A and B are shown apart, each in its own frame.
Chain A
């Protein structure tokens, strides 16, 4: 039986794949299949080095990752019990040699193999395999029965390996994840990589058609001329410019010292990476009181009222501060002052958000938790940062803390049901809760609809201007699309008509 011929190799491979995933490399089933295909094609067979080269080419994307793979492969090989027998070149083992079979006691597994081999079909019965898999942990001995002694060149790899991989991925436990970031050291330190910061800043844009229609819409003009055979009138369109202005208010010093690198990245990328028209930065210490400082060392003071007065109404204000979460204390004075400042801020700008370098779950019971009740506050993660930027664009759907906590409670409940521990009384409670949730979700979805229709209105006006200036084909389709949306939503339409009159 040449059943176990290739199994050490597969075991090593699976072990390696599993640990690379633990290190956060974005590998999926497809990537695993690719290695199998390459092995079938004769790549990576021979010795450890060629296997490593193959895996490096297919699975790693940088030198660091390749080094990591080198380490992990070494570990995977030593972990595998039959590591002494490394995958040999196929010709070197012309006979399905009994050596490996003899080292293994012919036990129940091999009987199973015999059973399945009597089956006529070439494919392995899936049920059989999955039964085996349930019995064993995914990393233990992936026994792959082969239905018939296959010819030498035919390495029995393609069989049901993917199932093991899928299992490995499902078993992948986030809690014992060792290192979540696999990029370079600087990126490891930051919760958001510089690239992600840059990318996110890009989304902060408010394209407005500016000035009169004076830019030649070349394709539209040409299309018109070709239609009419003569140039009667050029199609013009207004210039689109990104009018977004950003004000960064950065908490500097004290508990924010560990995050200075992060705020520097934010400021740097806002100034250079994105296409923000104007980005101004002011600093404060702990909370804004009377002065803002225009330098990180907090020497050049300016009155807050002066600065707020000078800010464009449409600018987005992003505050960067841990709001007391870093030292997890509760300071009523800080809350009061912040609240006063936010009131002030609200009078001069429309969009503002708060970015907290501390993760969401550390705010509970601290000043940050309180402040988050009246300011849209987000943690510094790719999602949080994007949400903050969406807020600055005026697309914030406010979930107040009460609703949030209720929702999270509710999300926990069904688990009790699923485990089957809930008694009747609990079920009754849960039903009540579900009713409440429906109500809650209803109100939330209304809020969402409102904010969306507001957005549509803004867009609608934009395209209306374009229409009057007889713009090109692309914007025309946009208008029709918008009108299609209005048909389903009565209130904004009414508003819009009122505005037209």
Chain B
């Protein structure tokens, strides 16, 4: 029951056309109404990033892109690696390139002016670019838990105050030398995803909004598949989603809440393959042994449990 008073900037209803999907690599995204509400809350409050958690493959990363698409805002993804530093998100300073230019400056007078201007060697990172943009920007900080445990703490100030300084560049202000400062022109919309590989520090969590992406139910799954494959036959779709749901339920029973289970993204991959075959053949395959199990089962143990057991049953 979403109240109409709520500012609904993001609706989750506008999906990219087929052409856009092909050209720009966009994909349709069907969020749950609760997620839409959380996104709108983030946009409304402006202050805090939205921390998304959920099973792998539940669409944490794709959300930011979908929001940016629907609202027509610029999009700045920042994929975190284990070596990422908080500063990289703001800017990087290429000292080696400057050295290179300085060496060449002896031969080429033009280069000299280039060497003197430090801006030629500063490259803004995703956060820096978003702050400089005069439009509100959607920022994605993907898999923040991959980085070092101190990484989120280093980001605190930048995310809190929406500004940072570049110590390499000094500016004179009333006779006082100051570090150049970049301040967000418009408050960005920040999404952070985490796979819970490492705990995040409390000080960081305190500053985030939190949303846990639940696994969609069967009807929602059908909708998601429909959005990805608009021209697929409904019968095949229902059958595939049902078969997928059965597998997932079985996995839940066996490995409990903790183990790796088949995810939405795997369902879409699986369905892509199924679509290569004629309708009747697919329906036939779905009734028998799990077709194209390579897409869904990633452990030898799973293979044994879910593939061979069904064969034995039939014998």
Q: Which residues of A come within 8 Å of B, CB atoms?
A: 26, 31, 34, 37-38, 41-43, 45-47, 49-50, 53-54, 56-58, 60-63, 66, 89-91, 153, 193-195, 198-199, 202, 218-219, 221-222, 225-226, 229-231, 273
Do the beta carbons of A226 and B212 come within 8 Å of each other? no
- 21 residue pairs of the A-B complex, CB under 8 angstroms, read A26-B202, A34-B47, A43-B6, A43-B37, A43-B41, A53-B37, A54-B41, A58-B41, A62-B53, A62-B212, A90-B3, A91-B5, A194-B199, A195-B149, A195-B199, A195-B201, A219-B93, A222-B95, A225-B102, A226-B98, A226-B115
Do the beta carbons of A226 and B102 come within 8 Å of each other? yes
| Distance in angstroms between the alpha carbons of A218 and B121 in the assembled complex | 14
B-side interface size class:
35 or more
Do the beta carbons of A222 and B102 come within 8 Å of each other? yes
- Residue with the highest number of chain A CB atoms closer than 10 Å, among B3, B6, B51, B212: B3
Point out the residues of chain A lying under 8 angstroms from B44, CB to CB.
38, 41, 43
Minimum C-beta distance from B87 to chain A (A): 13
Point out the residues of chain B lying under 8 angstroms from A37, CB to CB.
45
| Distance in angstroms between the alpha carbons of A11 and B224 in the assembled complex | 40
Looking at B203-211, B240-248, B258-266, B272-280, the stretch in contact with chain A turns out to be B203-211
A58 nearest CB neighbor, chain B only: B209
Q: Does B99 interact with chain A (Cβ within 8 Å)? A: yes
Mark each residue of chain B from 27 to 47: 1 if its CB lies under 8 Å from any CB of chain A, else 0.
000000010011011001101
Point out the residues of chain B lying under 8 angstroms from A26, CB to CB.
202, 206
Do the beta carbons of B106 and A57 come within 8 Å of each other? no
Do the beta carbons of A42 and B7 come within 8 Å of each other? yes
Mark each residue of chain B from 146 to 157: 1 if its CB lies under 8 Å from any CB of chain A, else 0.
000110000000
A61 nearest CB neighbor, chain B only: B205
Q: Does B2 interact with chain A (Cβ within 8 Å)? A: yes
Point out the residues of chain A lying under 8 angstroms from B5, CB to CB.
42, 45, 89-91, 153
Do the beta carbons of B208 and A193 come within 8 Å of each other? no
Do the beta carbons of B102 and A229 come within 8 Å of each other? yes
Do the beta carbons of B98 and A56 come within 8 Å of each other? no
Q: Does B236 interact with chain A (Cβ within 8 Å)? A: no
Q: Does B1 interact with chain A (Cβ within 8 Å)? A: yes
Do the beta carbons of B212 and A63 come within 8 Å of each other? yes
- From A63, A89, A194, A218, B3 is in contact (CB under 8 Å) with A89
Q: Does B310 interact with chain A (Cβ within 8 Å)? A: no
| Distance in angstroms between the alpha carbons of A364 and B261 in the assembled complex | 53
Point out the residues of chain B lying under 8 angstroms from A53, CB to CB.
34, 37-38
Do the beta carbons of A222 and B98 come within 8 Å of each other? yes
Point out the residues of chain A lying under 8 angstroms from B206, CB to CB.
26, 31, 61
Minimum C-beta distance from A53 to chain B (A): 6
| Distance in angstroms between the alpha carbons of A13 and B95 in the assembled complex | 54
- Interface positions, chain B 132-167, Cβ under 8 Å from A, are 149-150
Q: Does B96 interact with chain A (Cβ within 8 Å)? A: yes
| Distance in angstroms between the alpha carbons of A63 and B52 in the assembled complex | 11
Do the beta carbons of A38 and B149 come within 8 Å of each other? no
Point out the residues of chain B lying under 8 angstroms from A47, CB to CB.
1
Point out the residues of chain B lying under 8 angstroms from A43, CB to CB.
6, 37, 40-41, 44
